[in-house]
Structure 1
Amino acid sequence: MAFEKPVVVLDNGSYNIKAGFACDNHPVSIFRSIVGRPNYLRGSYGNEYYDVFIGDDAMEKIEDLELNHPVVNGKIVHWDNMERIWHHVFYRELKAAPEDRAVIMSCSNTAPMDEKIKSCEIFFETLNCPALCIQAQGTLAVYGSGLTTGLCIDMGYDTVDIIPVFEGGLIKYAHIQTQLAGAQISDYIKHSFNERSLGGTLKSPKDLDTIVKQCVYITKDIAMSKENYTKNCTLSNGEVVDVFNEAFMAGELLFQPDLIMGKETNYTALPKGVVQSISKCDSELQTALYEAIIPCGGLSTLPGLNERLELEIEDEIHRPVKVIFSPESYTVIWLGAATFAGLPDAKNVWVTQKQYEDYGVRIIKNKFM
């Protein structure tokens, strides 16, 4: 579907929001999906004037604010705050009037129809957008890798979703969640620091982000000498801490959860989750899926992850596989949405404002099933 101005692309994540224009090859803005209100209100919103802080602005004033995460486990759970974030995206981040822009937006692979209907209500009735398209993150990740068939491993903060995609459609019965994601890695690091009596050194949430993004890594072979893998991290207060144990074990958690967390858990190791998901698909499709394994999301940027994943899956199934790696894998879903917006065949899955006014919920269910 052709639009007069470039389409706005939104990827709503539990940790970050990515926003930009379909004509670009990278999001214009990436910020935390957090809304903060002053602590002194104590839930009495609307009784007096107050400032609302969104994203990184909220993180900077974290001690003075009551924080809310409108997206949890990939699903929108607080609509007022989600609407504030979308408003912030248009007027503060992109500086684009929503009434002039069609929007393509990602949703969770398991997003219920009620969520899609509510999203349409906000975009058409409040923001007055001319058209909206909602697509599952798994589908968009595959498109973002230049394919239409593949296995998406969406490694986010709240959840790791493994879901096969065939010719642009989700194979929902083969969907697997490992229950291990960024939140569990952060919890492990905090627990490890507490055991070392260093819990007080983590003064800010940014310290955990720094450790995960700059220090955590995954090795091909876990049999190694500690002397060769020392890791130090400078925290926000200037203190330098040895994080070798956390840097190594936090990454290993994705591959050997039983070793680190014990066997009394419902965690699934990442390679086993991949094999379980693909094994649920038709045998004729399994070869194509093993040749197009696509990690995406924030955790997929961990050094060594793709090489280790490839080796472990091959060891599990005794055949070669291909893990498709992008140097900016955290934006693959956003790139897929930007790609999808420009496809000629995609015009059939957009809902225009006129269609919404004429047909209401029925057209949404027809287009976004």
Structure 2
Amino acid sequence: MGFSKPVVVIDNGSFNIKSGFACDNHPVSIFRNTVGRPKYLNGSYGKTPYEVYIGDAAVERSDELDLNYPVCRGKIVHWDNMERVWHHVFYRELKAAPEDRAVLLSCAPTTTMKDKVKCCEIFFETLNSPGLCVKPQSVLSLFGSGYTTGMSVDMGHDITEISPVYEGGSIEYAKMETNMSGHHLSEYIKESLLRRELNVDWNIDQVVQELKNKYVYVTKNSAVTRQQYMKTYKLPSGEEIDVSEEVFMAGELYFQPELVLHNKVNCLSLPDAILTSSLKCDSDLQPELFDAIVVHGGMRIPGIYKRLSRDLKLLLNRPVNIIQSTEAYAVAWMGGAVFAGSRESQRVWVSQKQFEEQGERIVRNRF
């Protein structure tokens, strides 16, 4: 199935949504996947006109808006708002008419067939797109790294998900979650700062976000000299505080959650989750999976690749290949762009006409 204009690629993330054209090598637009409505509506849509804010514009007005996040743990939970975000992507971000563009849409590996059909209904019946292809983010992340077999390690805002992929197909029964994500790191840092009863005449959420994005790190073997360990942070007020423990222990949450939280938690360390996921697969397949472990998602922590490689080698008693990327946050999108332009993708598109004639049946066949 050929299209006259470049395909639009949309990577639906819980925190950020990334979009662009398949002919490009990077997303055109990246913004917060959120919708804001005035608080005076009290959750109702209202009978009088009102302004709806989307993305970063909504976050900037969080004091006066009720924010809704359409995607939670990879699953679309609010379809009306998700439709608004997709409309915003076409008309405000990409400046492209949806009726002229086929769409490749990424989804979570656990997305149900019912949700895929709902995506088709919105893109074909509301946005009037000529074609749609829905692919799991785990598969696209492998494509974006130049592989078709391996393990996808998606380190997201509200979920860390490990998905084995074989020859471009996700092995769903072997999927694992660690129950530890970027959101948990933020909560740990925030609780630790509040516990110290510091002067909180500053925006603590802003401070936590900056510490998580710029200060958190992971050491190769969880050992560090005192000089390297000492970290200070300058508050907006000008006061300097010691954040050594927060930024060191936050990174260790991915590797030693019970040690950091001082109790038994319903979490797996990242290496244990990868090992468990691989053991669910056929033993003949496991060596191929370890040859391409693609770590991607919004969490970019210095040192995490070396630590993960070391811990997995100790667990498996064999070398592993951790695929690194300077643009790990966009790997799934780039995989979508690669797949949309490949000859193999022609077999899995659903056209508007096919959906009108066959409905759910064609979706089940193709997706």
Same fold (TM over 0.5): yes
1:215 aligns with 215
2:309 aligns with 310
* 2:15 equivalent to 1:15: yes
Distance 2:240 2:27 in 1: 33
Provide the secondary structure at the position in 2 that maps to 1:321: coil
Distance 1:214 1:17 in 2: 21
Does the 8 Å CA contact 1:14/1:157 hold for their aligned counterparts?
yes
Does the 8 Å CA contact 1:193/1:199 hold for their aligned counterparts?
no
What CA deviation, in whole Å up to 9, does each residue of 1:201-243 have, x standing for no partner?
5516443321111111111132222322332334556654432
2:358 aligns with 359
2:101 aligns with 101
Please report the TM-score for the alignment, with normalisation by the length of structure 2.
0.97
Percent identity reads 53
Q: Which portions of structure 1, spanning 4 or more consecutive aligned residues, are displaced by more than 4 angstroms?
A: 234-240
Provide the secondary structure at the position in 1 that maps to 2:132: strand
Does the 8 Å CA contact 1:206/1:236 hold for their aligned counterparts?
no
What count of residue pairs does the alignment treat as equivalent? 367
* 2:33 equivalent to 1:33: yes
2:330 aligns with 331
What CA deviation, in whole Å up to 9, does each residue of 1:21-44 have, x standing for no partner?
111111011111111111111123
Q: Which amino acid aligns with 1:326?
A: S
Superposed counterparts of 1:57-136, under 5 Å: 57-136=57-136
* 2:308 equivalent to 1:344: no
Taking a change above 3 Å as real, the CA distance of residues 199 and 254 of structure 1, as seen in their structure-2 partners, is farther
Distance 2:276 2:261 in 1: 21
Distance 1:60 1:73 in 2: 23
How far is 1:140 from its partner? 0.5
Does the 8 Å CA contact 1:204/1:236 hold for their aligned counterparts?
no
2:203 aligns with 203
Q: Which amino acid aligns with 1:167?
A: E
Does the 8 Å CA contact 1:162/1:274 hold for their aligned counterparts?
yes
Distance 1:31 1:238 in 2: 30
Distance 2:164 2:201 in 1: 42
Does the 8 Å CA contact 1:150/1:288 hold for their aligned counterparts?
yes
Taking a change above 3 Å as real, the CA distance of residues 214 and 106 of structure 1, as seen in their structure-2 partners, is same
Provide the secondary structure at the position in 1 that maps to 2:312: helix
Does the 8 Å CA contact 2:15/2:157 hold for their aligned counterparts?
yes
How far is 1:2 from its partner? 2.4
Taking a change above 3 Å as real, the CA distance of residues 238 and 363 of structure 1, as seen in their structure-2 partners, is farther
* Worse-matched range after superposition: 267-276 or 202-211: 202-211
Provide the secondary structure at the position in 1 that maps to 2:109: coil
**Residue segments in structure 1 that go unaligned for 5+ positions in a row:** none
Distance 1:38 1:2 in 2: 43
1:47 aligns with 47
Distance 1:48 1:238 in 2: 45
What CA deviation, in whole Å up to 9, does each residue of 1:26-64 have, x standing for no partner?
101111111111111112313111111111101111111
2:291 aligns with 291
Taking a change above 3 Å as real, the CA distance of residues 236 and 355 of structure 1, as seen in their structure-2 partners, is farther
Distance 1:140 1:198 in 2: 44
* Worse-matched range after superposition: 127-136 or 189-198: 189-198
* 2:279 equivalent to 1:279: yes
2:145 aligns with 145
What CA deviation, in whole Å up to 9, does each residue of 1:141-183 have, x standing for no partner?
1101101000000110111110100000111111100000011
Q: Which amino acid aligns with 2:168?
A: G
Does the 8 Å CA contact 1:190/1:199 hold for their aligned counterparts?
no
2:268 aligns with 268
Distance 2:2 2:246 in 1: 50
Taking a change above 3 Å as real, the CA distance of residues 104 and 204 of structure 1, as seen in their structure-2 partners, is farther
How far is 1:365 from its partner? 1.4
Distance 1:86 1:156 in 2: 20
Q: Which amino acid aligns with 1:127?
A: L
How far is 1:326 from its partner? 0.8
Provide the secondary structure at the position in 2 that maps to 1:62: coil
Q: Which amino acid aligns with 1:323?
A: I
Q: Which amino acid aligns with 2:314?
A: D
Provide the secondary structure at the position in 1 that maps to 2:284: helix
Task: Please provide the CA RMSD for this pair.
Answer: 1.4
Taking a change above 3 Å as real, the CA distance of residues 147 and 248 of structure 1, as seen in their structure-2 partners, is same
Q: Which amino acid aligns with 2:273?
A: G
What CA deviation, in whole Å up to 9, does each residue of 1:286-333 have, x standing for no partner?
11111111101011x210000000000001111111101011111110
Distance 2:260 2:199 in 1: 19
Does the 8 Å CA contact 2:190/2:204 hold for their aligned counterparts?
no
What CA deviation, in whole Å up to 9, does each residue of 1:69-109 have, x standing for no partner?
11001000001110010011011111111011110010011
Q: Which amino acid aligns with 2:116?
A: K
1:163 aligns with 163
**Residue segments in structure 2 that go unaligned for 5+ positions in a row:** none
